[in-house]
Amino acid sequence: MRLILILSMTVLWAQDFEYIGTQKCKTCHKSAKKGAQFKLWKAGPHANAYETLKSEASLKIAKEAGLTKDPWETPQCLKCHSTGYGMGGYEVKDAAFWEEKTKKGKPTKDVKRMAGLQAIGCEACHGPGSKYKKKKVMTAVFKGETDPVSVGLWRIGEGTCKQCHNEASPTYKPFVYEERLQQILHPYPAESE
């Protein structure tokens, strides 16, 4: 009985944080004053991780691995080339989903959210953003008034990266955390905290 209660509480806690998509993060993290974090991410390798699945090289790797679906529809690939796959984030959708529009002819909220998860986006490393997306929450985090973990922010370290950058990857290259970190850094300027 205790095990069921603990598992239920864990599931409820995990579901409390939802993936919102990188476009929502862009709202607060695009200005030069904030370190132009979105621009730095967009210029880096993680922003195009999903799109690389559509390349000839990825199709060849998938075929050699014996995958029966396209890489952009395969769990083995999506877990490291999208955000939150299998954890309430990115999901494979049919063509009809991507065509859904609002009454004004624009993509629906669900379509925009899912499109914002087609990459190694902010939430792939920082955690689902539904609770920390508000400025007042982040201000409280920076002031030390709110525990980052309590609002869904993950503690980032070498283990975060090695969930994907490991020998199970068919394109694995030796991973030196300090070197790779320098390639993707997008710091938040201290003076804007």
Low-confidence ranges of the chain (pLDDT < 70): 1-15, 190-193
Contact 131, 182 (CB under 8 A): no
Residue 7 lies in a domain: no
Task: Write down the pLDDT at residue 132.
Answer: 95
Question: Is 4 within the bounds of a domain?
Answer: no
With respect to residue 5, please indicate whether it lies within any of the assigned structural domains: no
Q: Give residue 10's pLDDT.
A: 40
The tally of domains found in the chain comes to 1
Report yes or no on 116 lying in a domain.
yes
SS3 content of the chain, % helix, strand, coil (to 5): 50, 0, 45
Give residue 34's pLDDT.
Answer: 84
1: in domain: no
Residue 24 lies in a domain: yes
Strand, helix or coil for residue 192: helix
Rg (CA), the chain: 18
Total Cβ atoms within 10 A of residue 18: 16
Quote the DSSP letter at residue 120.
S
CATH of the domain at 172: 1.10.1130.10
Residue 11: the pLDDT is: 42
Contact between residue 121 and residue 25 where contact means Cβ atoms under 8 Å apart: yes
Output the pTM of the full model: 0.85
For the record, the structure tokens of 48 come out as 């195009």
Which pLDDT belongs to residue 66? 95
User: Does residue 79 fall inside a structural domain?
Assistant: yes
CA 187/CA 146 separation, integer angstroms: 20
Full domain range(s) for residue 166: 17-192
Helix (H), strand (E) at residue 4: helix 2-15
Residue closest to 148 by CA, chosen among 163, 129, 161, 162: 129
pLDDT on residue 6: 42
Whether 10 is covered by a domain: the verdict is no
**Pairwise CA distance, residues 157 & 79, whole Å:** 18
DSSP state of 174: -
What's residue 188's pLDDT? 78
3-state secondary structure of 16: coil
